[in-house]
Amino acid sequence: MSKKELDSTTSGYVSPSQLQKEQQEAINRTFDQTRNNIKRTVNEAQKDISNYAQQVINLQERAFEITRDIAGDYIESQKEIINSFNHSIWTPYIENVVNRTSGLSGVFSPSRAEVYGNTFTNINQHIVTTNKK
């Protein structure tokens, strides 16, 4: 036994039960601090994950916007090219051919326009689906 434990008249005397109680409290404080540190670390990590997730979502949304803009611009340019080509070259040529032969009516049937439109739509859907991954 230590001198403190033997000398009961000293004001610094600590009984074995008091010493055990203080040690238990110190251990409990250490565990509580550890638990609080873990909670704080996990909360910070969750915030970081939320920030990263939001950044990924923002990037995906921006990619969709850019894809939509590119597709819209492409469609407009194709429309202008086709209309320009039809008015300046193709329509006069077809009129000339039709005037010479009567068997070529319906060269620009709606089905060909639909096929072109469907093809372009499928390409755009593929691009959007690829950007989702």
pLDDT tens per residue across span 72-129: 998 888 888 877 776 777 667 666 666 665 554 555 455 556 666 777 777 778 877 8
CA angle 86, 89, 87 (to 5 degrees): 40
Is the pLDDT assigned to residue 133 strictly greater than 60?
A: yes
Helices (H), 2-109: 3-6, 16-85, 91-100
| Cβ neighbour number for residue 11 with a 10 Å cutoff | 5
Is this structure's pTM higher than 0.85? no
Report the alpha-carbon distance of residue 90 to residue 85 in Å, rounded: 6
Report the alpha-carbon distance of residue 16 to residue 1 in Å, rounded: 10
Report the alpha-carbon distance of residue 97 to residue 66 in Å, rounded: 43
Structure tokens at 69: 């803009």
| Cβ neighbour number for residue 47 with a 10 Å cutoff | 10
